[in-house]
Amino acid sequence: MKRWLPFEWIVAIRFLLEGKLQSIFIIVGISIGVGVIVFMSAMLTGLQANFIKRVLTSQAHIQILPPDQLARPQRHGVQEIEDPIIQRPSQRLVSVDQWQKIRRQLEAMPEISVVAPTAAGSALAKRGDASRAITLNGVEPETYFLVVHVPDYLVQGQARLLSDDILIGVELAKDLGANVGDKLNVTTSNGGARTLTIIGLLDFGNKGANSRSTFVSLRTAQSLLGMLGGVATIDLSLKDIYAAEDIAQNIQSANDVIADSWIKTNAQFFTAIRAQNLTNMLIRVFVGLSVAFGIAAVLVVSVIQRSRDIGILRAMGTSRGQIMRLFLIQGGVLGFFGSLAGSALGGFALIYWHAAARQADGTELFPLVIEFQLFVWTAVLATFTGLMAAMAPALRAAKLDPVVAIRG
């Protein structure tokens, strides 16, 4: 008998040890449930992190744009409209008004981690007889590369952007027969023209992006696109990606700009993530419920089996509260040990599945994310579930009339 344990703990543990087979079966049941929760949570977290990383390392969390240019009806005197038919004007490339002031405001917001102005527009890339239409992205590498991880896509050369440097996609390089170190003539529709040196080749894993996307320094793009001192967008990276829509709305309401969050521009992707989270939560709830009912069923049977013991304990002065506690402890202990075994089971399944499940190109299907926190929370939750599940049987045991209990 453990000298340091309180009475209720001594009895509860002995009861569990005496019904060894029963205890083992329910712990196996709990551990399977907990294992499923750990495995699913970790795998879905990994998959989700992977998808989000893929989506959000190739685009800004929020993009600030100048407002749409609108045509106003021509008026002749007060309330007299001369021509009521208004044609939507073509959207010229214009700068975000007072972008430097807005930039300072955004940099002061604690929820924003990176602010990167860009000057983007269309251009023509020519090399010899070949020419291709390209998207010219003028960026400050020290900020923009933190928003869109361009260096991660570099397959050749270096991710450097001096005034005459240009980074292009591998498909464009192939089309133009160019390689790192070659010169490229870039012209724009407003007459801007420059000869730039290919400093690196990028592979975004998407043929369209690889044949169009190019990156130059912000000043180079500004001069080519004829927007000296101006920027077409301000790209933001956030600390909490899921707060993007709220932050975008706040920015939009405080400034004369359009703020598009990744949630808005990737609505379908975000809906899929939310559906996945909901499914994950529902699975957790139902597995948790089945674990809880399993524990409750075993303890209800235990109360019936132990009714005589309960009667004797009551006769020797054990209070109703103590009887209740000793069954609650059993529930908690079953939940705790079940969660330990389940966490180990889930962990092993995760490691095995990570090693076995591969994508078509041989890369991992999901990153192996084993968070210690997940195991701690699962153990706490399973113990709490055990306690809650034991509540009904414990109350039943505490309410037993000792005379009836002893009579059996």
Question: 3-state class of 179 per DSSP?
Answer: coil
Binding of another protein by 305 (CB under 8 A): no
List the one residue from 25, 308, 351, 368 that touches another protein (CB under 8 A): 308
CA 285 to CA 292: how far, in whole Å? Answer: 10
List the one residue from 71, 78, 108, 316 that touches another protein (CB under 8 A): 316
Residue reference for tokens 């920015």 = 251
List the one residue from 23, 210, 223, 318 that touches another protein (CB under 8 A): 318
Binding of another protein by 364 (CB under 8 A): no
List the one residue from 203, 322, 344, 381 that touches another protein (CB under 8 A): 322
Size of the site for another protein (CB under 8 A): 26
CA 134 to CA 176: how far, in whole Å? Answer: 12
Binding of another protein by 22 (CB under 8 A): no
Q: How far is the CB of 240 from another protein (least distance, A)?
A: 50
Dihedral over alpha carbons 233, 70, 251, 141 (to 10 degrees): 0
Q: How far is the CB of 19 from another protein (least distance, A)?
A: 9
Interhelix angle for 20-56 vs 372-399, to 10°?
Answer: 140
Contact 180, 199 (CB under 8 A): yes
Binding of another protein by 309 (CB under 8 A): yes
Nearest CB to another protein, comparing residues 369 and 394: 394
* Phi, psi (deg, nearest 5) at residue 11: -65, -45
Interface segment toward another protein; rule CB under 8 A; list 83-91, 317-325, 326-334, 363-371? 317-325
Q: How far is the CB of 11 from another protein (least distance, A)?
A: 8
List the one residue from 1, 70, 356, 360 that touches another protein (CB under 8 A): 1
Interface segment toward another protein; rule CB under 8 A; list 2-10, 67-75, 222-230, 274-282? 2-10
Q: How far is the CB of 315 from another protein (least distance, A)?
A: 5
Q: How far is the CB of 318 from another protein (least distance, A)?
A: 5
- Residue 222, judged by CB atoms within 10 A of its CB (0-12, 13-18, 19+), counts as buried
Interhelix angle for 320-356 vs 372-399, to 10°?
Answer: 150
Cβ contacts of residue 22 below 8 Å, gap of 6+? 298, 301, 302
Q: Which amino acid is it at 304?
A: I
Nearest CB to another protein, comparing residues 10 and 391: 10
Work out whether the CA dihedral 114, 145, 208, 222 comes out positive or negative.
Answer: positive
DSSP state of 78: T
List the one residue from 254, 319, 355, 357 that touches another protein (CB under 8 A): 319
Q: How far is the CB of 397 from another protein (least distance, A)?
A: 14
User: In angstroms, how far is the first alpha carbon of the chain from the final one?
Assistant: 27
Dihedral over alpha carbons 387, 392, 397, 399 (to 10 degrees): 130
Interface segment toward another protein; rule CB under 8 A; list 72-80, 181-189, 268-276, 319-327? 319-327
Q: Which residues pair with 127 in a beta bridge?
A: 130
Token pair recorded at residue 219: 């000043």
Binding of another protein by 7 (CB under 8 A): yes
| Residues in 206-235 at the binding interface with another protein, rule: CB under 8 A | none
Residues that bind another protein (CB under 8 A): 1, 3, 6-7, 10-11, 14-15, 17-18, 308-309, 311-320, 322, 402-403, 406
